[in-house]
């Protein structure tokens, strides 16, 4: 058995982003554990989870609404990246890598949402 979301390239990309964020947060200081670490991980995971939840047994309008939630969560990841960079716990290489991944996901989510009638 397979689910609709498992066939979506953007869902695969969101899994990769979530893994990249997880690896990044391993470098964060312990005093950020319940602050930025938690927030960016939850935002990244939320992208994947909303794609899955919205695609399963929902109407097209409902799926579009969940894709919007995913886009918002992706924007939250970007905002967290900026906070981490400003706090000097995210270096420019990691910032750029995850920023580019997130930007690609946002574009694909918007395209998918616009393609749904």
By CB atoms closer than 10 A (0-12, 13-18, 19+), residue 7 is exposed
Domain annotation for the chain: domains and CATH numbers: 4-115 (1.20.1440.60)
Question: Residues of the chain whose pLDDT is less than 70?
Answer: 1
Q: What is the pLDDT of residue 58?
A: 76
Cβ-count burial 23-59 (b if 16+ within 10 Å, e if not): ebbeebeeebeeebbebbbebbbbbbbbbbbbbeeee
Q: What is the pLDDT of residue 109?
A: 98
Q: What is the pLDDT of residue 1?
A: 66
State the Cα–Cα distance between residues 117 and 113, nearest whole angstrom: 9
Q: What is the pLDDT of residues 23-42, one digit of tens each?
A: 999 999 999 999 999 999 99
Q: What is the pTM of this model?
A: 0.95
């Amino acid at each position: 058995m397979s689910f609709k979301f498992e066939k979506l390239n953007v869902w695969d990309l969101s899994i990769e982003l979530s893994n990249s964020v997880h690896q990044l947060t391993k470098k964060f200081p312990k005093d950020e554990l319940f602050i930025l670490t938690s927030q960016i991980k939850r935002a990244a995971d939320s992208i994947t989870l909303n794609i899955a939840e919205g695609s399963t047994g929902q109407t097209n309008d409902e799926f579009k609404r969940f894709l919007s939630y995913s886009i918002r969560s992706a924007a939250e990841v970007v905002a967290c990246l900026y906070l981490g960079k400003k706090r000097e716990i995210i270096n420019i290489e990691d910032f750029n890598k995850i920023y580019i991944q997130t930007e690609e996901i946002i574009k694909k989510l918007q395209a998918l949402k616009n393609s749904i009638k």
